[in-house]
Chain A
Amino acid sequence: MSAKPRHAAGVLAAFTAVALAVTACGDSSEPAGKDAKNITLTISANAIAGGKNAAGAEWIEKWVIPRFVEAQQAKGVTAKVTFVPSGVDDEQYKTKLALDLRSKGGADVIAVDGIWVGEFVQAGYLKPLSEVAGDQVDSWEGWSQIPESVQGLGSFEDKRYGIPLGTDGRVLYYNKKLFAQAGLPADWQPKSWQEILDAGAKLKALPGVTPIQINAGTAMGEATSMQGALPLLVGAGGEIYADGKWAGASQPVKDVLDFYTKVYGGGLGDPKLQQEAKGRDKSFTEFAAGKIGILAEGDYFWRSVVNPKDGIAKMADRDTTVGYAMIPAKQPGAGIRGQDFVSMSGGGVRVLNPNSKFPSQAWELLSFMHSAEAVKAELAGATRITARTDVNKEVLAADPMLNFVAEKVLPITAYRPPLAVYPQVSVALQEATADATAGRSVDEAASAYQKKVEGIVGGAGNVTS
C-alpha cells in the first residue's frame, strides 16, 4: 500500500518544481519594469533564413539582436532577445498573430502589414504606442524623419500604433530578352491597357512563353487585389471605397473584369496558374526562367524575388534582363484623379505587443530597429524605400529601380481603406476575378460580386453600382 503515498509525494514534488520555476521567473527581489536588470524580448516577422524575406531575417538575427544586447549590456542590463521566424503566406501569418494576441501571448515586437493595424486595433489586440511604452514614444527622434503620409500606415484614428518600415509601389515587369525576340522595344512603357494586350499578342508568338501574368483568383490571396484588381480598378477611374461607399458592379469594376477576360480568355495568360495552390511562387520561378513576358508586381519582386543575391527566384542577369514600366490607366487620363498612370501602395509596420512583460524595453528595441543606422544596415545591398527621409536621401541615388518607384510611382499611388471589413471585400473581388478568369461573362461575375459585397458591408445602401 505504499504506492499511493509515493505517488502523492511525486505529484507534490512536481507541483513544487513548477511553483518554484514560476516564482523564479518573476523573482521579486530583482528590479522589474523599467529598471529590470534581466529582460527577455522576442521579435516576430514573416521572414525566415533561406526562405521568405531572408534578408530581413538575417538582419534581425545578425545585426539587430547582437547590437541591441550589447547596448543593453553597456547599461548593465542582461538582455535575451530571440527571433521567431515565419515563412508562410501573409494570410496565415496574420491568423497566427491574431490568435497569439487574442490569447495575450505573442512576441514583444511584431512586424505586421499596415492594412491589418485597423482591424487589430478594433479587436483590442493593439494599443497606441504611447499607452504601451509611455512618454518616451512621442519624444523619439525618428518621427521627424518619417513623412506624415507614411506615418499613416501605422496609425489608426489619429493614434500611432506602430512604426512604418517603408512603402512600396506597383509596376509592370517585363523580360527584355523575350521582348527583343518578339520585336518589342527594350524601353517599353505602355500608355493604355490595349498596349499591354498588344504586346502580349506579340509575345504569344514565342514558343513556351506565357505573355502576361496578372494575378487573379483566390489562390493568390491579397496578391490578386494588390497586384491585379486594385491597380486596374484605379486605372479605370474607380476606387474600392470612396465617400463612405464600397464599389459594387460599377463600370470600373466591369472594366477590370473585362481586362481579365481578355487576358485569360484570349490565351495571353495561363488561367491554370491562377488556380494552383502555389501559383504565385510558380509565376516567380517561371518569370525568372524566362517563361513569362510581362508580370505585374510590387517592388518587392525586384528586391526579394529576382534579386541575384538573396531572392527566392534569383536572376543573375536581373539588372540587364528585367525591365519595369508604370502601370497605365485604361486610356491616358482615365485613371483616378485623371491620371495617366497608376499604382497601389502598402507597407509593413512594426508594432508593440500590449501584453509585453517589458514594454519599455520593447520600445527601446523597436525604436532601435528604426534608427537610421539600423535601417541602413537592413538595406545592405537590397533596395527598398524606407520610411526615413534621411536614409532615403543617402541610398535613393544608388539604385535605378528604387529611384523609379520613388520618383515616378509613389506620387501617383493609392492606398487601401484601413477598415476591418476591407479584407472580406477584397476576397469578394478576388472571387470575381476568378470567375472572369474561368470564363464566366463580365456581367455574371460583376453581379455575383455585387451581391457578395452587399452581404458583407450591410446592404445595398453602402454599395455603389
Chain B
Amino acid sequence: MAQATSPPDEMVEGARPVTGASPAPDAAGLGRARATGFLVPAMVLILVFLVVPAVWTIYLGVTNYRLTGLAAANPEIVGLDNYTEALGDERFRTSLLLTLQFVLGSAVIGQAGLGFAIAFALRDRRGPLRRVVEGFVLLSWILPSSVVAFLWIALLDRDAGTLNALLGIPGMAWLLDYPMLSIIIFNTWRGTAFSMMLYAAALENVPRSHLETARLAGASTWQQLRDVVFPRIRGHVLTNLLLISLWTFNDFAPFLITAGGPEQRSEILPVYVYKVALSGGELGFGAAISFIMLLINLVIALVYLRLLGRRKESA
C-alpha cells in the first residue's frame, strides 16, 4: 500500500489519540472558531432565504397589506382577522377540499398507484420494452410545465382538441365540465415517473427467493404483494407518499391549464393564494392563507413521519 511509508503522525486528525491537556473538541478536529467559520455561511443562507421570508409571511398575515391603494402605503395590523376570515370563507374551504381531492386523486392514488403498477409490471423485464415505457414516463416528467400545459390544452380543447377528434365527439368541453378530473389525470400523467423509479429501485430489494417461495406455496399476486413485497418496501412507500403529497399540495401547474376555473371549480390552494394575493392584490390575506398551507404541510409531514417511525420501532 502506498500509505505504508507515511509516518503514523499523518493520520486523519480526528482519529488522533487524545493526549495531554489538549483534547480534540470535536470529531473533525476543526476547533470552535473554524467550525463556526464553516457553519456561518450556511446559517446566513438559511436565515436569509428561509427564516426571514417565513417571519415576513407571518407578519404580513396579520396586516391588511395590499398591492395597491392606501393599504399598500400604510398597512395596519388587523390581528387574526385574516385567519378568521379565511376559515369562515366558503371559497377557502371549497379550495381546501379541492386540494385534498387533488392530492388524494393525483398523488396518492394516481402517481403512487400507477407508478407502482408500472414498476411491478416491469420488474422482471429487461430490454427494449422496459426502456421505451420508462422513456415515455420520464419524458412527461422532464418536460417544462408550460410546454406540457400547452400540449394538454391542445389535447383537451373544446373545439379543436385532439381527444375530441379521436373520439369523434366535437364540442365536448373536458376542461369546463370535468375540471378537477382533468387536472388529476394531468398531474398523474406528469408525476408518475418519480414514483415509478422509486418503486423500481425498492422492488430490487425484495429477494427473488421470497417471491418464488410464495409462488410455490400457491400465493396469488395480491397475496404476494401484501405479504412479501409490501412489508419489504413499506418505508419506500411512506417516503414516496410523503414527498409527492407535499409536492402536489403545493403544485401550481394546474393553473396553466384551467386557471382555477370554471367558476373556481379547480381552484386548489396554490391557485387560490395566487389569485387572492397577486391578481386581487390582497397580500395580507394571501400571506395568512400561505401560512395556513404551511401548517397543513407540517401536519401531513408529521403524520407520515409518525408512520415511518412506527415502522422502525416494529422492525
A92 to B281, CA, bound (A): 11
Contacts across chains A and B counted by CB atoms under 8 Å: 68
For chain A, residues 88 to 121, give those with C-beta under 8 angstroms from any C-beta of chain B.
91-92, 94-95, 98-99, 102, 116, 119-120
Residues from chain B with Cβ under 8 Å of A17 in the complex: none
Nearest chain A CB to B290 CB, angstrom units: 16
A98 touching B279 by the CB < 8 A rule? no
Query: Which residue of the partner chain, among B70, B261, B262, B280, contacts A122 with CB atoms under 8 Å?
Result: B70
A330 to B261, CA, bound (A): 31
**Interface size of B by Cβ–Cβ distance < 8 Å?**
22
Given the interface pairs A272-B173, A276-B176, the reply to whether A102 lies near B263 with Cβ below 8 Å is no
- Find the A residue at minimum CB distance from B264: A218
For chain B, residues 216 to 271, give those with C-beta under 8 angstroms from any C-beta of chain A.
257-259, 261-263
A435 to B242, CA, bound (A): 39
Interface of B is mostly: loop
Given the interface pairs A91-B279, A122-B73, A272-B158, the reply to whether A98 lies near B262 with Cβ below 8 Å is no
B292 close to A (CB within 8 Å): no
A316 close to B (CB within 8 Å): no
Nearest chain A CB to B10 CB, angstrom units: 13
A98 touching B68 by the CB < 8 A rule? yes
Query: Which residue of the partner chain, among A95, A102, A219, A420, contacts B70 with CB atoms under 8 Å?
Result: A420
- Find the B residue at minimum CB distance from A116: B68
A99 to B263, CA, bound (A): 27
- Find the B residue at minimum CB distance from A419: B69
B68 touching A125 by the CB < 8 A rule? yes
A32 close to B (CB within 8 Å): no
Residues from chain A with Cβ under 8 Å of B70 in the complex: 122-123, 420
A242 to B66, CA, bound (A): 25
A residues in contact (CB < 8 Å) with B: 91-92, 94-95, 98-99, 102, 116, 119-120, 122-125, 217-219, 272, 275-277, 282, 420-421, 423-424, 427, 434, 438
Interface of A is mostly: helix
Please name 20 further chain A to chain B contacts, defined as beta carbons within 8 Å, in addition to the given A272-B173, A276-B176, A276-B262, sorted by A numbering.
A94-B68, A102-B72, A116-B68, A119-B69, A122-B70, A122-B72, A123-B68, A123-B73, A218-B261, A218-B263, A219-B259, A219-B262, A275-B263, A276-B158, A276-B175, A276-B261, A421-B69, A427-B280, A434-B263, A438-B263
Given the interface pairs A272-B176, A276-B176, the reply to whether A123 lies near B72 with Cβ below 8 Å is yes
A91 to B279, CA, bound (A): 6
B67 close to A (CB within 8 Å): yes
Residues from chain B with Cβ under 8 Å of A119 in the complex: 68-69
Residues from chain A with Cβ under 8 Å of B72 in the complex: 98, 102, 122-125
A98 to B263, CA, bound (A): 26
- Find the A residue at minimum CB distance from B279: A91
Nearest first, the 6 A-B pairs at minimum CB distance are A420-B69, A275-B262, A123-B72, A277-B259, A119-B68, A124-B73
B278 close to A (CB within 8 Å): yes
Residues from chain B with Cβ under 8 Å of A218 in the complex: 261, 263
- Find the A residue at minimum CB distance from B66: A123
Nearest chain B CB to A275 CB, angstrom units: 3
Residues from chain B with Cβ under 8 Å of A420 in the complex: 68-70
Given the interface pairs A277-B258, A438-B263, the reply to whether A120 lies near B68 with Cβ below 8 Å is yes
